[in-house]
Structure 1
Amino acid sequence: MADDLHLARRLGTADAVMIGLGSMIGAGVFSAFAPAAAAAGAGVLVGLLLAAVVAYCNATASAQLAAQYPTSGGTYVYGRERLGPWWGFFAGWGFVVGKTASCAAMALTFAAYVVPVAWQRPVAVAAVVSLAAVNYRGVTRTARLTRILVIIVLSVLVLLLVAGWVAGKPDPVRLSLTSEHIGVYGVLQSAGLLFFAFAGYARIATMGEEVRDPERTIPRAILLALGIAVAVYAAVGVTVLAVLGTDRLAGSSAPLVEVARSTGWGWTVPIVAVGGAAASLGALLALIAGIGRTTLAMAREADLPRWLAAVHPVHQVPHRAEIVVAAIVSLLVLTVDLRAAIGFSSFGVLLYYLTANIAAYTQERQQRRFPKALQILGAIGCVVLVAALPWQAVLGGVAVFALGAVYKAARALRARH
């Protein structure tokens, strides 16, 4: 039976790192700095540092748990195994719902880079269907396309950094913290928004059933991918702030394109746009794969309809889950614009990692790779950053989790009767 099959272990360390980078160095690097700067001013760099520290703590928790539970589902599985069914359900529900919205946002962001407004929705749907088809054909094809997209994005970012510092008239004074531009709440809010960009390393753990030698590969890949992403974000953040300044950065809808324009090197503007499109595609590709694997794990435990637990007998992917995800994302793309959903996604992701930290804290000594203090710091960081998010994001997140509780309770009631 296809439902009884497991996914194939075909990914090595380099593949896993690329999938993590494809998730983290996505559209966030092209867009997240503007709302973060609007919240914190020049303190956006402090917010970036805080987001990186919380991300590192969470990454150690995920790496430690993935080594013990090398299967599909990520924190859904960890929460369920270590803390109980409800913990796992809320982690999985928040991930699936929040990241499905993120998929729609990434598809629309990609379309915004490549076609006029009138064509954006159909082109976004075409991108979703095309990438779902790549995922459907097997995880090695997913890894191969991700590698190509990551190389394109990194090359564009290197070009932008060179252009910004050589011809963008950067002013180091713009990096200084002044009382009128920084506040504690603003810094925390910017950290919560920027954390959204770092959350992609979870895709490595979510695909743990497809990684070779997972006890060794997954921890290495998670920390390596996060380290590279932090370095890239730090370099880009310093550059855009030095070139544009706080006010221009905060008011920009496409800050990296504006940096390219500021250099006077007009030929770099379309290249940066290509980089933004490639980054959006890379994030979308990894998101579809991650949601499919989490859906598979939840369906195996009947937290989602069991027929979604099927694994393709030839390609060894969760094909029904991926088809359903692509269909829902396409419907969202055609009906709503979710590009402003970054705060809502951060809410779900932070609670997802809160569960991971608590689950890792309960692991026995022989399973531990990192001190418990990191899990405590990570959990506190998640709670603080959630509290600092815009109230609209918190309200939307609470509503989604309330809907999830009703759904799970209804399924449990139906099962009993």
Structure 2
Amino acid sequence: MTQGLRRTLGVFDAVVIGLGAMLGAGIFVALAPAARAAGSGTLLLAGLALAAVVAYCNAMASARLAALYPASGGTYVYGRERLGPFWGYLAGWGFVVGKTASCAAMALTVGAYVWPEQAQVVAVGAVVVLTAVNYGGVQKSAWVGRVIVAVVLAVLAMVVAVCAGGGGPSLGSGGGGSAGGVLQAAGLLFFAFAGYARIATLGEEVRDPERTIPRAIPVALGIALVAYGCVAVAVLSVLGAGELASSAAPLADAVRAAGFGELAPVVRVGAAVAALGALLALILGVSRTTLAMARDGHLPRVLAAVHPRFQVPHRAELAVGAVVAVVAATGDVRGAIGFSSFGVLAYYAVANASAWTLGPGRGRVLALVGLVGCVGLAFALPVSSVVAGAAVLAAGAAAYAWRVRRGRR
């Protein structure tokens, strides 16, 4: 009999875990490449709004499905139950591979802000520490997440306050833009909203999941959207789209441009803390999806073990931590946002298709909008991201077909 996980998380803890993933993965990382794609501040905000609409549809689909299937694994479980084993597997494969790359990107972001000359060393150290925190139990992870979210929200509020009324470039300034640029910006910014998936993937560790998850997901998404919108407008009012697009640390640069250069180190610390929060939540989510896939034999069954004391998928967490540490020690963050966005958009396309099977009504309309939005944004991403993401999904599909054929023999 498969041992279950301990249900300890309430609504507040679930919201905090989702926020920790979204705030760290988004506002300090995705604004610059999205501004480059959009071409102007107005189009960047349009891309943010479009990403939010698609994210909202995905969130509603995930909330409905999580209430019916409150188990670890998120869309891997939903696709398996509603569409069939292959679609569940493909969603889980895209999530694990894409989010493992995201974990490495977040770890390297920590290193770049804390000690740029030794970014990879710091990144590996961050992965080791946070894997140990997760190993001690999900409740400890939630407490750490509370502290991180509080710090990040305080830093973002400070950035908005010092940049407000900066009197710099107008929102429409930049190098022009197009509808394709808005779609690409939305696809890149979707990376910033994907953190609420962590709430659904922790379904087996949430108290009263039928009520908790549908409440926590829209709350976390709404808070993140308000934070993103305020910060984007504030930064654009100081830097403009052109300077934002070329900035390696846009929030720190915006604070300097507003005449508060002494606060730039505070922003750098906030960015590092935000990336740590995202990394913490990402490791949680990837390890739970790994657990679910291992239970079904799509990954080595040894990874399905649950620690008898801490009641966490300890082998899955250690395996994920080890892979992320290796990638962080040998790779860089280039292309990570686009690659991750493609994998996660494919993941949510399966979620929306699964939600569409639940029956007619407003939920089905949202699921259809979400499905079309996910496919559209995925193929609007940079060509390199689309090619790499499609190749990874194809490799996963080929591995699944080989396993099925071998099983029949």
Using a 3 Å threshold, how does the CA distance of structure 1 residues 62 and 268 change in structure 2: closer, same or farther? same
> Which residue is equivalent to 1:282?
277
How far apart, CA to CA, are the structure 2 residues paired with 1:317 and 1:268? Answer: 40
Percentage of identical aligned residues: 60
> Which residue is equivalent to 2:400?
408
> Which residue is equivalent to 1:206?
201
CA contact (8 A) 1:106 1:339 kept: no
How far apart, CA to CA, are the structure 1 residues paired with 2:116 and 2:225? Answer: 33
How far apart, CA to CA, are the structure 1 residues paired with 2:400 and 2:13? Answer: 35
Indicate yes or no: 2:164 matched with 1:170.
Answer: no
1:333 Cα deviation (Å)?
1.1
1:176 Cα deviation (Å)?
3.2
Indicate yes or no: 2:137 matched with 1:138.
Answer: yes
Indicate yes or no: 2:223 matched with 1:224.
Answer: no
State how 1:240-251 maps to structure 2 within 5 Å. Answer: 240-251=235-246
How far apart, CA to CA, are the structure 2 residues paired with 1:170 and 1:374? Answer: 39
TM-score normalised over the length of structure 1: 0.95
SS of the residue aligned with 1:8? coil
Question: Structure 1 stretch 95-104 or stretch 260-269: which is displaced more?
Answer: 260-269
Indicate yes or no: 2:392 matched with 1:397.
Answer: no
How far apart, CA to CA, are the structure 1 residues paired with 2:267 and 2:223? Answer: 20
How far apart, CA to CA, are the structure 2 residues paired with 1:146 and 1:52? Answer: 23
Gaps of 5+ in 2: none
1:175 Cα deviation (Å)?
1.5
How far apart, CA to CA, are the structure 1 residues paired with 2:303 and 2:407? Answer: 17
> Which residue is equivalent to 1:159?
158
CA contact (8 A) 1:13 1:220 kept: yes
Indicate yes or no: 2:34 matched with 1:39.
Answer: no
The partner residue of 2:373 within 371, 381, 387 is: 381
Question: Structure 1 stretch 399-408 or stretch 318-327: which is displaced more?
Answer: 399-408
Using a 3 Å threshold, how does the CA distance of structure 1 residues 415 and 307 change in structure 2: closer, same or farther? farther
CA contact (8 A) 2:32 2:250 kept: yes
Indicate yes or no: 2:79 matched with 1:79.
Answer: yes
> Which residue is equivalent to 1:270?
265
Using a 3 Å threshold, how does the CA distance of structure 1 residues 27 and 360 change in structure 2: closer, same or farther? closer
1:159 Cα deviation (Å)?
0.6
> Which residue is equivalent to 1:326?
321
CA contact (8 A) 2:98 2:343 kept: yes
How far apart, CA to CA, are the structure 2 residues paired with 1:142 and 1:339? Answer: 28
CA contact (8 A) 2:173 2:240 kept: no
Give the letter for the 2:149 counterpart.
V
How far apart, CA to CA, are the structure 1 residues paired with 2:245 and 2:299? Answer: 41
> Which residue is equivalent to 1:192?
187
1:416 Cα deviation (Å)?
3.6
1:177 Cα deviation (Å)?
7.4
CA contact (8 A) 1:109 1:339 kept: no
Gaps of 5+ in 1: none
CA contact (8 A) 1:33 1:237 kept: yes
CA contact (8 A) 2:7 2:204 kept: yes
How far apart, CA to CA, are the structure 2 residues paired with 1:165 and 1:338? Answer: 30
How far apart, CA to CA, are the structure 1 residues paired with 2:370 and 2:2? Answer: 36
How far apart, CA to CA, are the structure 2 residues paired with 1:170 and 1:148? Answer: 34
> Which residue is equivalent to 1:129?
128
1:27 Cα deviation (Å)?
3.7
SS of the residue aligned with 1:181? coil
1:4 Cα deviation (Å)?
2.0
> Which residue is equivalent to 2:12?
14
How far apart, CA to CA, are the structure 1 residues paired with 2:240 and 2:227? Answer: 19
State how 1:358-369 maps to structure 2 within 5 Å. Answer: 358-364=353-359
What are the superposed Cα offsets for residues 242-272 of structure 1, whole Å, 9 maximum, x if unpaired?
A: 1101110111111101011112222210000
How far apart, CA to CA, are the structure 2 residues paired with 1:361 and 1:7? Answer: 29
How far apart, CA to CA, are the structure 2 residues paired with 1:331 and 1:210? Answer: 28
The partner residue of 1:342 within 328, 337, 353 is: 337
How far apart, CA to CA, are the structure 2 residues paired with 1:206 and 1:153? Answer: 23
CA contact (8 A) 2:25 2:191 kept: no
How far apart, CA to CA, are the structure 2 residues paired with 1:294 and 1:338? Answer: 23
How far apart, CA to CA, are the structure 2 residues paired with 1:229 and 1:174? Answer: 24
1:170 Cα deviation (Å)?
3.0
TM-score normalised over the length of structure 2: 0.97
How far apart, CA to CA, are the structure 2 residues paired with 1:351 and 1:110? Answer: 27
CA contact (8 A) 2:74 2:202 kept: yes
How far apart, CA to CA, are the structure 2 residues paired with 1:163 and 1:250? Answer: 20
How far apart, CA to CA, are the structure 2 residues paired with 1:415 and 1:373? Answer: 38
1:414 Cα deviation (Å)?
3.6
How far apart, CA to CA, are the structure 2 residues paired with 1:332 and 1:259? Answer: 31
> Which residue is equivalent to 2:301?
306
1:364 Cα deviation (Å)?
4.3
CA contact (8 A) 1:27 1:276 kept: no
CA contact (8 A) 1:244 1:259 kept: yes
